[in-house]
Amino acid sequence: MRPQSLTPLFAQVTSLPGIGPRLGKLVERLAGPLVVDLLWHLPSAIIDRRNAPEVAQARAGEVATLTVTIDEHHVPHSPRQPYRVWCSDETGKLCVTYFNGREDYLKKLLPPGEIRVISGKIELYQGEVQMTHPDHVVPLEERDSILRVEPVYGLTAGLTQRPLQKAITAAVALSPELPEWQDPAYLKKQKWEAWKASLTQAHAPAEVTDLSPLTPARARLAFDELLASQLAIALVRHHNRTLAGRAVKGDGSLQKRALAALPFQLTASQLLANAEIAADMAKPERMVRLLQGDVGSGKTLVAFLAMLTAVEAGAQAAMMAPTELLARQHYATIAPLAEAAGVTIALLTGRDSQNQKKATLRGLAEGHIEIVVGTHALVQDDVEFADLALAVVDEQHRFGVHQRMALSSKAAAVDLLVMTATPIPRTLMLAAYGDLDVSKLTEKPAGRQPIDTRTLPIERIGEVVQAVGRMISTGARVYWVCPLIEESEDVDLANAEERFRTLDARYPGKVGLLHGRLKGPEREATMNAFATGTLSILVATTVIEVGVDVPAATVMVIEHAERFGLAQLHQLRGRVGRGVDKSTCLLLYAQPLGETAKSRLAIMRETEDGFRIAEEDLKLRGGGELLGTRQSGLPDMRLADLGAHAELLEAARDDARLIVDRDPDLESERGKALRALLYLFRRDDAVRTLRAG
């Protein structure tokens, strides 16, 4: 049960003063539906209202708080004219201006003959001191409520500072003093205050420097969030580790046959990954391992060897890919090797004919089919296995957690191997997966040549079109990727269609078009024509980012490369350089280039190392956007900045491990306080595993 003390924080935001149903919707869009969500919405700037000069000393462009007597109201004759209120002190006159001002409201706010304290931005107009729509107007006795440093919060359309500030102040006031969940020695070493004091300080910055993620108050809150996240991962993991698994041991006979059929040797990191996976599968606990490898580093082969280990042990294995294109490609890669090893393999997708599907389902249920490759058709209810021992999930950030779980629940104690070609920086790895066991493939397979990457201004596109012509006359194949426009798939498509028309006019019959709106069969026909060489140029939107494998393609042209993220540019470049011929990647950019875009293009020229690129991407963009966090299964951090708080993340991970080793059920005094922390950051699912476990 959630501790009673937290109940006020889990009320709807509309329970706060000044937030009715209309503003409630806006606040929910901005921060979230509950009071606790506003606690995590920290100020992004400050306004210093302590500057309180006399009128004659007020300087244009500054925010000032003036104490004045209200002299007279000039009510306009037409609504298009401004409403002016003249005020003064001993040194001079001030004109307060309102557009569309209502007379009854303004006379109540600024009653003639009375003293008011007015705060806002000073303007000088024809020598007169002016203030348009002041931020605050209060009676003299409330002067101190304005003379302060005011926090400024990020907003959404339709919401203004005043009601949001008021609601957040109320939310902070509602926050209870909670028992300390941090280790006392660590708290002392960091010179951090208690949770409530830190929260109060974070919402009351006195200087610009107080907005830095490294100030004690903000760092403490970030560490709380990281600890909640790491502890949740550690608890769920501990729970999974204690579930009964099974030891899956192979004798290596099938692997030997498959490897003998390969025209090349495995790389050192492929051999190491294979050994790590086999050792994990042989243990009685369930395996959950991540296989990270750059584009073209040979992950599919390593996964296939793991699947053979399961078959050697007398069981079955399944591989699930996010798209049919990818599933067919994996199947094409491993089917000849499966045949060489004498293993029965099948493909299962949503487009199979009824008879084909029936035969595959029967083969899986009876155990004749030992390995199956498919799309999420694999997790449908009618798919049953005789004895599934290993589930491989490819490009895991494209699947929801439930789909991953659904595949591994097709039998008791299934080992799980997750593959990704999106190199995830170590910091993000920790944040997302705690200390999930990771195998990394760091080399490219033998015979692959480095890709020559160049950047060119888009004005030189004519030269590029000519160069492409020279390349295709020698039999080369060319990808041409059209710009990414955030707002609209339609615009992306229009760009691609236009580029297709211009290239097709120049090289008739040689150019194909590939985009997300094409039906499966059309898409496949186009891809096949490109792969077999009927088409020499493939114009595409970013649908080719993942999993298109044409070794003969040696040129990649990316238009408006400045609009793409680093990870995406890297993925796209990885579509060439897959054969033995020299490959080129041309990044066309529009001037002027911003600093971030400049850095991105420079990194692309310098390195092909996906892990380094991912680290740089994290620095340039911050963790939130890296994999499109929403669907990536990565945690959504509100207080922690993975770039700035990398050391705190390491500390949180170590602390979480220690806690789970010493007190896995969180029964101690500190354990009970930690339960409150998990609820506070909505990691309730981890608390539930405690009870279920």
Range of the domain at 159: 5-46+148-176
Same domain, 62 and 34: no
At residue 652, the pLDDT reads 93
Lowest mean pLDDT: which of 268-272, 404-408, 581-585, 683-687? 404-408
Structural domain ending residue among the three candidates 124, 156, 176? 176
Give per-residue pLDDT as tens, 4-61: 999 999 999 999 999 999 999 999 999 999 999 999 999 999 999 999 999 999 999 9
pLDDT-derived band at 372, boundaries 50, 70, 90: very high
pLDDT for 405 beyond 80: no
Q: Please report whether residue 435 resides in a domain.
A: no
Tell me the pLDDT band of 490, cut-offs 50, 70 and 90: low
CATH of the domain at 56: 2.40.50.140
Structure tokens at 561: 């490369």
Rounded Cα distance, 679 and 686, in Å: 9
Q: Is the pLDDT of residue 631 over 50?
A: no
Q: Are residues 131 and 164 in the same domain?
A: no
**pTM of the shown model:** 0.66
Domain annotation covers residue 272: yes
The residue written with tokens 């490009």 in the block is 395
> What share of residues in the chain are helix, strand, coil (percent, to 5)?
45, 20, 35
Are 404 and 418 a contacting pair, CB within 8 Å?
yes
Rounded to an integer, the average pLDDT of 510-525 is: 83
pLDDT tens-digit profile of 231-254? Answer: 988 887 787 666 667 899 999 999
Q: 567 and 473: one domain? A: yes
CB neighbours of residue 3 within 10 Å:
15
Instruction: Establish if 517 belongs to a structural domain.
Output: yes
E strand segments, 415-560 = 415-420, 437-441, 451-457, 477-481, 511-514, 537-540, 553-558
What is the DSSP code (8-state) at residue 42?
Answer: -
| Partners of residue 291 on adjacent β-strands | 419, 439
Q: When comparing pLDDT for 360 and 410, which is higher? A: 360
Dihedral angle sign, alpha carbons of residues 322, 326, 327, 330: negative
Report how many helices (DSSP H) and strands (DSSP E) the chain contains, helices first. 25, 22
Residue 23 domain-assigned (yes or no): yes
pLDDT digits (tens, 9 = 90+) for 262-292: 988 899 999 999 999 999 999 988 888 889 8
Q: Are residues 561 and 481 in the same domain?
A: yes
**Domain presence at residue 655:** no
Asked if 553 contacts 468 with a C-beta cutoff of 8 angstroms, the reply is no
652 located within any domain: no
User: Can you tell me the distance from the alpha carbon of 502 to that of 500, in angstroms, rounded to the nearest whole number?
Assistant: 6
Give the Cβ contact number of residue 15 at 10 Å.
Answer: 15
Q: Are residues 556 and 492 in the same domain?
A: yes
Judge whether 196 and 177 are in contact, CB under 8 Å: yes
In this structure, the answer to whether residues 324 and 414 fall within a common structural domain is yes
- Between the alpha carbon of residue 186 and those of residues 14, 528, 655, 674, 686, the distances in Å are 38, 60, 10, 15, 24
Classify residue 640: in a domain, yes or no: no
The mean pLDDT of the chain is 87
**Of 548, 574, 607, which residue sits at a domain end?**
607
Q: For every residue of 583-623, which 3-state class applies, written as one string?
A: EEEEEEECCCCCHHHHHHHHHHHHCCCHHHHHHHHHHHHCH
Query: For residue 52, what are its two tokens?
Result: 């309180």
Residues 412 and 463 in one domain: no
Bridge partners, 391 (sequence order)? 318, 416
**Residue 633 domain-assigned (yes or no):** no
**Do 460 and 526 sit in the same domain of this protein?**
yes
DSSP structure string for 314-358: T-EEEEE-SSHHHHHHHHHHHHHHHHHHT--EEEE-TTS-HHHHH
Q: How many domains does the chain have?
A: 4
Contact 378, 361 (CB under 8 A): no
Considering only CA atoms, which of 317, 284, 291, 279 is closest in space to residue 407? 317
In the structure, what pLDDT confidence band is assigned to residue 629 with cuts at 50, 70 and 90?
A: very low
pLDDT at 427 over 80: no
Report the C-alpha gap between 394 and 420 in whole angstroms: 6
Q: Is the pLDDT of residue 319 over 60?
A: yes
Whether residue 412 is found in the same domain as residue 511: no
Question: In terms of Cα–Cα distance, which of 296, 292, 270 is closest to 583?
Answer: 296
Find the radius of gyration of the CA atoms of the chain: 31
Domain match, 563 and 480 both? yes
Alpha-carbon span 581 to 577, nearest angstrom: 7
**Same-domain check for residues 478 and 596:** yes
The percentage of the chain sitting over the pLDDT mark of 90, rounded to a whole number, equals 58
Which of 383, 407, 422 is where one domain is finished? Answer: 422
Residue 457: asked if its preceding bond is cis (omega within 30°), the reply is no
List the CATH number of the domain containing 299.
3.40.50.300
152, 70: one domain: no
Of the candidates 551, 546, 516, 515, the one whose C-alpha atom is nearest the C-alpha of residue 530 is 551
Residue pLDDT, tens place only, 533-572? 899 999 988 766 545 678 888 999 999 998 888 878 888 8
Q: What is the mean pLDDT of residues 170-195?
A: 96
Per-residue pLDDT band at 138 (split at 50, 70, 90):
very high
